[in-house]
Each structure stands twice: as C-alpha cells, then as structure tokens.
Amino acid sequence: MKTWMRSLTGNCEFVGNQIWGAPQWDSPFFMRLQHIKQKFDLNIENETKSSDSMKIYIVSTQAYLSRFFKLLEQGFIVKTQAGCSIKDLLCEQLGIDEDYLDNRIQTLFLDGKPVDDVAKAYIQNDATLALSGAMPGLVGATFRKGGTYAALRNTISYNADTASKGRGEARVKLKLFNMVLKELGPIFLENGVWIRKEKLGEFFSLNLEDLKAACSSVDMNGQKIGASRLAEIDWKDLEVYLKIRAEKPS
C-alpha cells in the first residue's frame, strides 16, 4: 500500500495497490445500486446547449471501462443545495441505499477532514467529498467513521458544531476510491457526470490509442465522431458532461 491516504485528504492522485474483494451483488443494498438515479437538478439539456459546455457519450468495451475510473478518483461535480448533509446528498439525491452508506462506505473526508456522523456533516459550495471503503491497518481503522480509534484524530476530524450550513446552490467535487469506486463507478459513469475539463483533456491525450481500440461509439453533442477527435479538442474553456456505457456481452 502506497500513499492512498493523501489522495483522500488532498489533491494528490490515488496510488494505492491494494486488492479489494469482489462485491456481493446478491445482497439487498447491491440490488438497489442498479437503480441509482441522479435526482438533483442538473438541467443537462439546457446547460449543454450553451457554447461553454459539451456532452460526450461513449460506448466502450467492458474490459476498458475501469480505465475511466481514474477520472472519478480525481473528482467529478455534482450539484446540490448548500447546507444539506452528506447523508441527504448521497441517499436522498443520488439514490444510494442507506445500508450501502452504513456498511460499505466506511471512510469519508469532507474538505480533507474525516467524518464520523454523515447526518451532521454539511455540504458547502466548492466542497470536496471523498468516499472510500474500509482501509487496512491501524491508519485505516483510525479514519473509519465512528470507529474505535476515532478519538485518536479528534483534532483533525470534521466538527459539526463549528460548521456553517450555508444557503443556495452548491457545486461539490465527489471522489470515489477503492471498493466504492469499483462498485459505484460504472453506475455513475452510465448515469453521466460532470468532469473537470482539464483532467478530461489530459486523459484523452494520454490514452488516445487505447481509446480508439476500445470505444465502439463516441457521440459529441448529438453527432458521431471518431475517438481521435477527442484529443484535438481544446477542453480548457468547456464544461463537460461525460456518459460512458460498457458494451453488453454478445
């Protein structure tokens, strides 16, 4: 295991090499994962008509889908109401089952601070929320929400008593890691996410040859394009809505 903790608390990339177990898809809360819907108001159709936004739909091979997970580690944008709790954002707006939040999402960081009570941790505009499964070792146990060793990091933990609830719309950067990334990543990609434009351009440039081989269909604002076109676009002034679906096995 390398510097996985830094990626949760700051802006560093995920570098971990931990192997995580396969999800138990027959359990009750996994059955609901297939029905996650983004209930918050994205106004996708209206936003992507403007000159500073773009909508990209990609169909890739099942084997290549996980390559897009790096974008979800780096962070994607969701919109919510400032002052809502983490629990409301994840369960009420994103449709994640409470059992999944309680049992699978074991480590959360809000703006770099570990969170214990998701019902009393409030979202502000431009917040960063990182979600992870249980992490190994003493450090992992220390940062686990409501864990036995939570008192060891009380000076850096999120404090609801000093937090402001705020008002208005909030844009939140959501990051997924390890088991949570493997289990929720494909669902978020298929539903569609807003991606940081500079990271998307870098990803397409670095992975262009693989993209051309793995992507059977690329649609940009309603028009079919070749995958090579993705590396030619100047992404720096664009808001990008990205939707990726894996090919169904024949």
End-to-end, the C-alpha distance of the chain in Å comes to 37
For the ranges 142-146, 177-181, 198-202, 234-238, the one whose mean pLDDT is highest: 177-181
Position with higher pLDDT, 44 vs 150 = 150
pLDDT confidence tier of residue 3, bands split at 50, 70 and 90 = very low
Residue with tokens 């939040």: 101
CA distance 181 to 175: 8
Domain boundaries, the chain: 37-153+162-246
Average model confidence (pLDDT) for the chain?
80
Per-residue pLDDT tens digits for 151-168: 777 877 878 765 566 678
**Residue with more model confidence, 218 or 32:** 218
- Compute the distance between CA of residue 235 and CA of residue 237 in angstroms, rounded to an integer: 6
Quick: pLDDT tens for 48-62.
445 467 899 999 999
pLDDT of residue 32: 52
pLDDT category at 21 given cuts 50, 70, 90 is very low
Whole-model pTM? 0.79
Is 188's pLDDT higher than 60? yes
122 or 1, which is more confident?
Answer: 122
The 3-class secondary structure across the chain, one letter per residue, is CCCHHHHHHCCCCCCCCCCCCCCCCCCHHHHHHCCCCCCCCCCHHHHCCCCCEEEEEEEECCCCHHHHHHHHHHCEEEEEECCCEHHHHHHHHCCCCHHHHHHCCCEEEECCEECCCHHHCECCCCCEEEEECCCCHHHHHHHCCCCCCHHHHCCCCCCHHHCCCCCCEEEEEEEECHHHHHHHHHHHHHHCEEECHHHHHHHHHHCHHHHHHHEEEEEECCEEECHHHHHCCCHHHCEEEEEEEECCCC
Which of 96-100, 134-138, 173-177 is predicted with the least confidence, judged by mean pLDDT?
A: 134-138
- 5-9, 112-116, 128-132 — most confident range: 128-132
Gap between the Cα atoms of 161 and 233, Å rounded: 46
What pLDDT is recorded for position 161? 62
